[in-house]
Amino acid sequence: MKKYLTRSYTDLTKEENFLSETLFHNANGYIGVRGCLEEGVLGGADTMRGTYINGFYDIIPMKQAEMLCNFVDKKETMLNVADTMTVNCVVDGEILDLLTGRVIKHTRTLDMDKGITKREVIWEAPSGKQIEITSVRMTSFEELSLFSIEYTVKALNFEGDIRIISVHNPDVTNYSDPSDPRLAAESMRNLSVKDIYADGASSIAIAETSVSGLRVCSLVHHAFMAFGGASVKDETTDILGKQGVFTGNARLTKGGSVTLEKICLFTDSVRAREPAGRAVRILDTVLSNGLNYYYKKQEAYLTAFWENCEMEIDGDADMNSAVTFNMYELLQSAAKDSYASIAAKGLSGEGYEGHYFWDTETFILPFFTLTNPALSKMLLRYRYSTLEKARENAGLLGHQKGALFPWRTITGTECSGYFVSGSAAYHINADIAYAYVNYYITTGDLDFMREAGMEVLLETSRLWTDLGCYNENGDFVLNVVTGPDEYTCMVNNNYYTNVAAKYNLCWTLKIHRLLKEAGMLGNLDERLGITDEELASFGKAAEAMLLPYDARLGINPQDDSFLSKPVWDLTKTPKDHFPLLLHYHPLHLYRYQVCKQADTVLSYFMFENEQPRDVMMKSYEYYEKITTHDSSLSTCVFSIVASRLGMKEKAYAYFGDSAKLDLLNTHSNSMHGIHTANMGGCYMAIVNGFAGLRVTEEGISLSPSLPKDWNGYKFKFVYRDRRLKVAIDQDAVTVELLTGDDLTIRIFGKQVELTKKQEKRIQMEE
């Protein structure tokens, strides 16, 4: 089945255009280019004309209204690095402008098999001359530095002159919106152009950040070609001020066309000592290979990608497309080298300033761990590289030992300006630990645990024991922390945090034991200062960990005092007052039982063995009534847990909300970038939710259900060097071991022996 997203605009609105910049962005995990119109801003519309490099940032001041001790007063921010996407044309003196003349056709397509975006426009100038413009863009997975545009103009009903102007502008700023706390409030000039020069058909620019001292090189190379009787008259590459400008003139015959091939390369000093030299070398390779080579490599890369993670939904084409789109966007967003991670908005926009949150480990890594564990490992290794900064962060917050990962960061430094729902969200420590454990359970890669996992588990465990203490009943308690739900902050014994910390502590002991049993500890104990006493203290804290439970309601309270607060009346809240965070002071929100997102409910997915089913069921029903889902991380979790608790219709309804969040812009901010965590959550809602996949120490189990509107669905995943395929329809679940050794799994609780290339069909249960 072809994988594509396409949209046609008969009368492009400013809002649609802004959103399409996100939906049709190109990214490869290293660079991301927003899908802005080549010809520039649609008159007066809002646009975020950005190109980003993952992990490339500047440091900007973050003034605190009152500067208390160790408050964070500067932050890293992802930079818009250059505009290389601008191309326009003049037809016999009439400049292309969608707002003048007549737009006969305007279609955009994201081709997820080929890894390109295509824009097709038929435009009639005021004079009646019609041209067809086709723009094909790609950010290459083969050559991460490469962004290309093939821009073709065809004369449909006339013969005349055409001029193509293409711009390379390294002198750019970031987008800003002072009214939205989720965006940068001020547009600052963080990059200064140090040099720009032409070299034949190329323009090469070096810009430097103002504080972090990083350098970025952008290089643009133009080739101008004529087809079908058209002829090129001249072409020049000039440096005008701080911009490189290519101008090509041609004569078009009716039906003839010209194509501008724009090779744009990005390199940076995080990865290369001499970014410009590196860009020039890459250009040589790219020109010698030719663009077609990269198109083919792109397609091959994606064939392999889909081969590992393909998911098909039979009977709901729309949902099938949405799910495919989400997985593709995750691939676009994920760093492919160890210098970066996955930002909350990927590389699709400036929302949340390119910061990495718990989103990466909790919502996105599970997808990669099940489909591309090598990539997961790289992302985990990146987090590991920030461990020293996490130790420093713990010190700033008064801890004597251990590491506390920052709530939002690029390089590992805490960049949260409002610590109450930032640094106080200690659960991120356990979320990261969970991702290491999940990676280990899924891959069996004990080597990586020795290399990195053990130290992360150890330092996070140390932090828990430094943070917590025993109360008078002998319970181990964690006070004054903020759980996942940001509408309740700085509480004691947030259920999610406590149960996640318990898991963290237990697995520190388990991994240590596994390494010991495998004779792989080496000098780890000595190097990391691990003692038996310390390990015993972890075990004791885990065992004594307070997990709030309310006997009267039979639920897990979100925290010690949550149930003592009044319930927010969501039925009386005006529709335009959502999301609540934009309409109510936090102090007000904190005073009610109202949740921005899944919190305790999330724990029932991640740590389901901690509570009996009826407690989870009652809690689910309780929290469902008071959750606004103002966070994009919420509905996917409610879907997964609904599946697990057997509430099929509910599971599907929440899944629907999650799957199309960006495509339908249901949170009204997709124009600032995609919601990567939700996309990962959407994947889990199918695989871990509907299909009931569980990957535990004991092995794999499935307990699938079929959403009632679907005829069936299938997906593939990898587990300990095996590839498996699962197909579910109304009658049966079919599992096939595609590669790897024989394996016993459980389906609906029953053991099923899998042998290579032999499908097993198990009857569906209610």
Residues 185-204 that bind a copy of itself (CB under 8 A): 185
Q: 571 to each of 73, 304, 485, 583, how far by Cα in Å? A: 39, 48, 20, 16
Instruction: State yes or no: residue 576 binds a copy of itself (CB under 8 A).
Output: no
Instruction: State yes or no: residue 418 binds a copy of itself (CB under 8 A).
Output: yes
Instruction: State yes or no: residue 64 binds a copy of itself (CB under 8 A).
Output: yes
Contact segment (CB under 8 A) with a copy of itself among 20-28, 150-158, 325-333, 562-570 equals 562-570
Give the residue carrying structure tokens 């097709």.
Answer: 120
| Nearest-approach distance from CB 598 to a copy of itself, in angstroms | 21
Cα–Cα dist 129/76, whole Å: 49
| Nearest-approach distance from CB 700 to a copy of itself, in angstroms | 41
CA 760 to chain centre: 35
Instruction: State yes or no: residue 116 binds a copy of itself (CB under 8 A).
Output: no
Taking the least distance from each CB to a copy of itself, the nearer of 428 and 733 is 428
Instruction: State yes or no: residue 65 binds a copy of itself (CB under 8 A).
Output: yes
- Report which of 471, 353, 350 is spatially closest to residue 417, judged by C-alpha positions: 353
Q: 425 to each of 57, 407, 421, 483, 499, how far by Cα in Å? A: 24, 7, 6, 6, 14
Angle at CA 615, nearest 5°, toward 609 and 621? 120
State which of residues 23, 53, 72, 380 lies at the interface with a copy of itself (CB under 8 A).
Answer: 72
Contact segment (CB under 8 A) with a copy of itself among 145-153, 162-170, 344-352, 585-593 equals 585-593
State which of residues 582, 646, 739, 744 lies at the interface with a copy of itself (CB under 8 A).
Answer: 582
Contact segment (CB under 8 A) with a copy of itself among 41-49, 69-77, 504-512, 704-712 equals 69-77
Token pair belonging to 406? 């920052």
Instruction: State yes or no: residue 296 binds a copy of itself (CB under 8 A).
Output: no
Q: Hey, which residues does 379 pair with through a beta bridge?
A: none
| Nearest-approach distance from CB 105 to a copy of itself, in angstroms | 43
39 a catalytic residue: no
Cα–Cα dist 86/170, whole Å: 12
Cα–Cα dist 393/389, whole Å: 6
Taking the least distance from each CB to a copy of itself, the nearer of 407 and 719 is 407
Token pair belonging to 525? 């104990």
492-511 mask for a copy of itself (x: CB under 8 A)? x-------------------
578: left (phi over 0), alpha (psi -120 to 50) or beta: beta
State which of residues 43, 126, 128, 181 lies at the interface with a copy of itself (CB under 8 A).
Answer: 181
State which of residues 66, 284, 576, 766 lies at the interface with a copy of itself (CB under 8 A).
Answer: 66
Sheet of strand 26-27: strand arrangement = 26-27, 31-33, 51-61, 74-80
Taking the least distance from each CB to a copy of itself, the nearer of 540 and 648 is 540
Prior bond of 579 cis (ω within 30°): yes
Cα–Cα dist 475/490, whole Å: 19
Cα–Cα dist 128/51, whole Å: 35
Taking the least distance from each CB to a copy of itself, the nearer of 575 and 585 is 585
Token pair belonging to 90? 């003049």
Taking the least distance from each CB to a copy of itself, the nearer of 107 and 471 is 471
| Nearest-approach distance from CB 445 to a copy of itself, in angstroms | 35
Whether 363 and 606 have beta carbons less than 8 Å apart is answered as: no
Cα–Cα dist 28/262, whole Å: 18
Contact segment (CB under 8 A) with a copy of itself among 26-34, 35-43, 295-303, 396-404 equals 396-404
State which of residues 140, 416, 443, 600 lies at the interface with a copy of itself (CB under 8 A).
Answer: 416
State which of residues 474, 519, 566, 612 lies at the interface with a copy of itself (CB under 8 A).
Answer: 566
Instruction: State yes or no: residue 396 binds a copy of itself (CB under 8 A).
Output: yes
Identify the active-site residue in 361, 486, 534, 624. 486
Taking the least distance from each CB to a copy of itself, the nearer of 486 and 657 is 486
Residues 312-351 that bind a copy of itself (CB under 8 A): none
| Nearest-approach distance from CB 62 to a copy of itself, in angstroms | 5
Instruction: State yes or no: residue 602 binds a copy of itself (CB under 8 A).
Output: no
Taking the least distance from each CB to a copy of itself, the nearer of 72 and 162 is 72
* Residue 280 CB partners (closer than 8 Å, separation 6+): 199, 204, 219
Whether 290 and 636 have beta carbons less than 8 Å apart is answered as: no
Instruction: State yes or no: residue 536 binds a copy of itself (CB under 8 A).
Output: no
Contact segment (CB under 8 A) with a copy of itself among 127-135, 154-162, 368-376, 575-583 equals 575-583
Residues 140-179 that bind a copy of itself (CB under 8 A): 178
Give the N- to C-terminal CA distance of the chain in Å, as an integer.
Answer: 30
Whether 460 and 383 have beta carbons less than 8 Å apart is answered as: no
Q: 663 to each of 321, 500, 666, how far by Cα in Å? A: 10, 32, 8
Active site residues: 486
Binding positions for a copy of itself, rule: CB under 8 A: 62-73, 178, 181, 185, 396-399, 416-420, 422-424, 467, 469, 471-472, 477, 479-480, 489-490, 492, 560-561, 564-566, 581-591
